[in-house]
Amino acid sequence: MRVEAVELRRVRLPLVRPFVTTAAATTARSSVLVRLLTDGGEGWGECVALDAPHYTSEYVEAAHHALRHHLVPRLLAAGAVAGEAVAQVLGPVQGHPMAKAALEMAVLDAELRAAGRSLAARLGATRTEVDCGVAVGEAPSVGALLDEVAGYLDQGYRRIKLKVHPGADLEPVAAVRARFADVALQVDANGAYSVDQWPLLAALDPFDLLLVEQPVAADDLLGAAEVARRIRTPVCLDESITSAATAATALALGACSVVNIKPGRVGGLLEAVRIHDLCVAAAVPVWCGGMLETGLGRAANLALAALPGFTLPADLSGSARYFPLDLTEPFVPVDGRLAVPTGPGLGVAPLPEELEELTVSVELLRP
């Protein structure tokens, strides 16, 4: 498949509610979309970098610059390229995994559309539906938190994830478990604890949590291993897992017994599959995390999350959880599950009117 041109499109989607990170809050989701024009048709990709470098070092402006000046020129110069070769073509450019993942996603979408084959089939999916979980941020009061959790459970979500940090952990977890005794419950620390604060995490052991996600800083695998030895709740790593190699190291160190896989964070869907396969071989369960993706990225995540090793509910809520207007036909959970797209490629494409309304800028690059 020969790449003839690449369109970089900046979009901005208003959010239903502000998205809060440890450093800021935003009321809209900015993203870079990639549209690949090839001799066999087109393909779409989405870069999941956020507006500012608060969650990862990669952010929208930097990703756009890397795509425009370094990554897309390499892809165009390669001429004919298959999805399996994208990582190698882009390899000389250091870093920028989310930008690279967007290009790989677009190449896979284009070649699979041309072949009439779904992304789910290409990746090795074995399910037609994926269990959905929802992440709940810090609430103004315990009562407000319980009301919010109750609302999500009424909508059918099959797992609740609470954000925690020192000073805001035991009370909300205890309250949710007391009110919802049977709910599948986990917590996400986003690296907020130091190793010597492990007793705070051990205090959560009695609440029958599925896991505690990323308890310590992303680059502290030894610290994660120490926490995992000290507490009974399974430790899951998210930001620490940047490749199959780092996943293998984390498992060898005993730093986790569960892995969260995000395709953008690890450089693409095919590396995500390699991490999945590694974890399956080690009998380590995995689940698919979300990055406020539009319908394009959500479709790709669903295809990945349908692989057999993804045995825990994914952070893949319905479109309406985040966006009043999505780029694609909205994803709507039924009984707490989302259907895996079965059409060629991603199985979805941007709707023309919605795409036009949400577009900020467009640039077409040719060899």
For the chain, the structural domain boundaries read 3-116+349-365, 121-339
Residue 55 confidence (pLDDT): 87
Kindly give, in sequence order, each residue whose CB lies less than 8 Å from that of residue 366, ignoring residues fewer than 6 positions away: 4, 5, 76
CA distance 142 to 148: 10
CA distance 219 to 242: 10
99: tokens are 């930008």
- CATH fold of 3-116+349-365 reads Enolase-like; domain 1 (3.30.390)
Backbone dihedral angles phi then psi of residue 345, each to the nearest 5 degrees: 65, -135
Q: How does the average pLDDT of the chain come out, rounded?
A: 96
Residue 37 confidence (pLDDT): 97
Please provide the size of the chain in residues. Answer: 367
Write down the residue that tokens 């130091």 correspond to. 194
Residue 26 confidence (pLDDT): 82
The per-residue b/e assignment along 281-291, b for 16 or more CB within 10 angstroms, e otherwise, is: eeebbbbbbbb
Model confidence at 76: pLDDT above 70: yes
Model confidence at 311: pLDDT above 70: yes
Instruction: Find the mean pLDDT for residues 209-221.
Output: 98
Model confidence at 219: pLDDT above 60: yes
DSSP string, 239-301: TT--SHHHHHHHHHHT--SEEEE-TTTTTSHHHHHHHHHHHHHTT--EEE---S--HHHHHHH
Residue 25 confidence (pLDDT): 72
- Identify the band that residue 18 occupies on the pLDDT scale cut at 50, 70 and 90: confident
CB-side exposure of 241: number of CA atoms within 13 Å? 33
Model confidence at 10: pLDDT above 70: yes
DSSP string, 98-116: HHHHHHHHHHHHHHHHHHT
Instruction: Find the mean pLDDT for residues 99-128.
Output: 98
Residue 17 confidence (pLDDT): 83
What predicted TM-score, i.e. pTM, was given to this entire model? 0.96
CA distance 108 to 207: 42
Same-fold call for 3-116+349-365 versus 121-339: no
Model confidence at 160: pLDDT above 90: yes
Nearest to 331 by CA among 349, 312, 317, 343: 317
121-339: CATH, from 3.20.20.210, 3.90.1570.10, 3.40.50.300, 3.20.20.120: 3.20.20.120
- Identify the band that residue 16 occupies on the pLDDT scale cut at 50, 70 and 90: very high
Model confidence at 19: pLDDT above 90: no
CA distance 237 to 249: 12
Active site residues: 163, 262
- Identify the band that residue 21 occupies on the pLDDT scale cut at 50, 70 and 90: low
CB-side exposure of 141: number of CA atoms within 13 Å? 3
Residue 22 confidence (pLDDT): 57
Could you tell me if 233 and 256 are in contact, meaning their C-beta atoms sit under 8 angstroms apart? no
Could you tell me if 20 and 366 are in contact, meaning their C-beta atoms sit under 8 angstroms apart? no
Model confidence at 35: pLDDT above 70: yes
Residue 64 confidence (pLDDT): 98
Tell me the pLDDT tens digit for each residue of 247-294.
999 999 999 999 999 999 999 999 999 999 999 999 999 999 999 999
